[in-house]
Amino acid sequence: MPPAPTSPIGPPASDAEAGLDTYWSAERMAQAVPVEEQHAREALVPSGVPARAKRSPSHPFEGIKEVGTFYWAETDENGELYYRFCGGTVITSPGKNLVATAAHCFDDSDQRHALVFVPKHSKTNPKPYGVFPIQKGEIYADPRYMKKGGFKAHTDLDFAILKTGARSDGKLVQDVVGSIPLGINLGFDHPKTRVIGYPGFESKQNPLDCVTPMKKFSTGNEGDWKGGTFTEINCDGYIGGTSGGPFITAGSEAPRLVGVTGGWKTGGSSPDTSYSSYFGDEVKRIFDAAVAGRIPAPVVLPEASTWKHAKDIQSGYFTLSGPIEDDRMDMFVMWSDGELSLYRGAGQNLNYFDKEFRVQKPDKFWADHAKQIVAGDFTGDNGSDLIVRWSDGEVTLYPSVDEKGFHGEKQLVAPNPTWAKNAAALTAGRFGGNEWQDDLVVRWSNGELTVYQNTGDKLGKEITVRAKNDRWTHAVELGSGDYTHGNVWDLVVRWSDGEVTCYGDFTGSGPGTEHKWQAPNDTWTHAVIVTGGDHTDNPWPDDTIVRWTDGELSLYADGNENGVGRENRLVAP
């Protein structure tokens, strides 16, 4: 813990009463120390010790106007006051008031007072553009990171965006100093990357500047630290205090903010090698929340490594209540160890799914013998039921499954070799029998396609849609939904060559009107599970969830006869 400042100065009662421009004098700024998380970087590499990697030289300079420092007063457990600082960069936003930094600078252990952002701070000119206050509640970061221990458990989410208030004259920070746009999903390799950081030198406050290649760095778990994939730069002298400083594309690339010092071990343990969490979809999610002025919704979906074990996924109305008035379908998942999970449907602002329920703990019998699950409304009560095909050919209906588990069991088909060996793919939809999603579709191993219309406590009327044929033996995945927005649902087929086809108004009288969503391609051969449902604002079940071979989970929203819809990545690979 750093010593308390020598001057007898207490925190202001409130920002409004503080006169923050006066409060943050050059003297107080000089007393500020880096956040504790980067103490490991404070000691420079001893002379004669080789660097771990070839590094680029850095040099002190006066700074650039878009980059600066946060300052705040903080009290320790004994009530002693001291000052902290961390770097930040003004990013382009509609409200012209956002600054990006590292989340570990602002974790939930901090008790901050008089929090401000100071653009282009330097020793000779501490406040060239004044100070911009940050009110309580205006720190936006991933909730997983901000939990106790999150900086180790979710080290790849070490980024935050703070919303600044206007300067004392009413001007907004972006209008005063400009901004640098966020660079989302721009890859890891950038030959020239400008890295700026405010090191914790006791006698100097000028930032360091360095231009160096940025590259990809991956690590496994180390003790309590969860590994992952990060961006890496090698610039000398980036000791504690450089947290939150920017990685900016330079050279022939347009300037974009593609990282902030943080991530793996909150930026690394060496002053000559620094890291950043990758700026991908998760950063965009935090940015969108900051723009909207809402706390980022919790993320309940597990990571890609877990989704590789999703044996089957179905969409349906399983939960008895939800977080929004206009209900969304839930996602029911059968895992390879026999565990059954239910993710409650929510709106886009809540990341589509806001709560996880364990319907069944891992179960060896389910792991070994449950081959496929199908969701539908087979009992006609507007809730979703589950059909399971077992390894011995038995087909079972579980009516009214919800977050509390199962509520009964009905055998639809006794154990038999036909269903055991030949039922290759299943789905259910509203295919012309009545108003319910109770028509069961089966693609058999010989290419035959069958609809069991109006299935309930027994299999419905059997209709052969396609007699056995070679082409349909390549129909690897079946899904269903109402993409053409009629009273009859559509059948979605993912073929073995990656083609994806939507058959509009599918009924027992024929496959329906064929719409080619995807021509044969290698990418869609990796779509392991495809299931349709209602997960977005419009009232139609025209959204599609896809689980990929690498564990990525995607939701394609608002599909129609022309295509599967716009992609929303729920879980990154």
Q: Write down all domains in the chain, each with its CATH number in brackets.
A: 17-292 (2.40.10.10), 304-571 (2.115.10)
Q: Helices marked H in 90-249 — which ranges? A: 143-146, 150-153, 173-177
DSSP conformation class of 392: T
Grouping H, G, I as helix, E, B as strand and the rest as coil, residue 139 is strand
Task: Yes or no: say if 467 and 461 are a contact pair by the CB < 8 Å rule.
Answer: no
Q: Give the residue carrying structure tokens 């009530």.
A: 79
Query: Number of helices and strands (H, E) in the chain?
Result: 10, 35
**Calpha distance 58→207 (Å, rounded):** 10
Grouping H, G, I as helix, E, B as strand and the rest as coil, residue 206 is coil
Does this model's pTM top 0.75?
no
Angle (CA) 186 190 195, round 5°: 105
CA 149 remoteness from chain centre: 19
What is the sign, positive or negative, of the torsion defined by CA atoms of 91, 95, 96, 98? Answer: negative
155: tokens are: 């080290």
Element (H, E) at 21: helix 20-23
**Calpha distance 133→163 (Å, rounded):** 9
What is the sign, positive or negative, of the torsion defined by CA atoms of 324, 291, 569, 147? Answer: negative
Between the alpha carbon of residue 315 and those of residues 119, 336, 479, 489, the distances in Å are 49, 18, 10, 15
DSSP conformation class of 194: E
Print pLDDT tens along the chain (573 aa): 333 343 334 444 444 445 899 999 999 999 998 887 665 555 444 333 344 456 788 888 999 999 999 999 988 777 788 888 999 999 999 999 999 999 999 875 556 889 999 999 999 999 999 999 999 889 999 988 988 888 898 899 999 999 999 999 999 999 999 999 999 999 999 999 999 999 875 547 889 999 999 999 999 999 989 899 999 999 988 888 899 999 999 999 999 999 999 999 989 888 889 999 999 989 999 999 999 999 888 889 999 999 999 999 999 999 988 777 778 999 999 999 999 999 999 988 788 999 999 999 999 999 999 999 999 999 999 899 999 999 999 999 999 999 999 999 999 999 999 999 999 999 999 998 789 999 999 999 999 999 999 999 999 999 999 999 899 999 999 999 999 998 899 999 999 999 999 999 998 787 789 999 999 999 999 999 999 999 998 999 999 999 999 999 999 999 999 999 999 999 988
HSE toward the beta carbon, residue 571, CA cutoff 13 A: 22
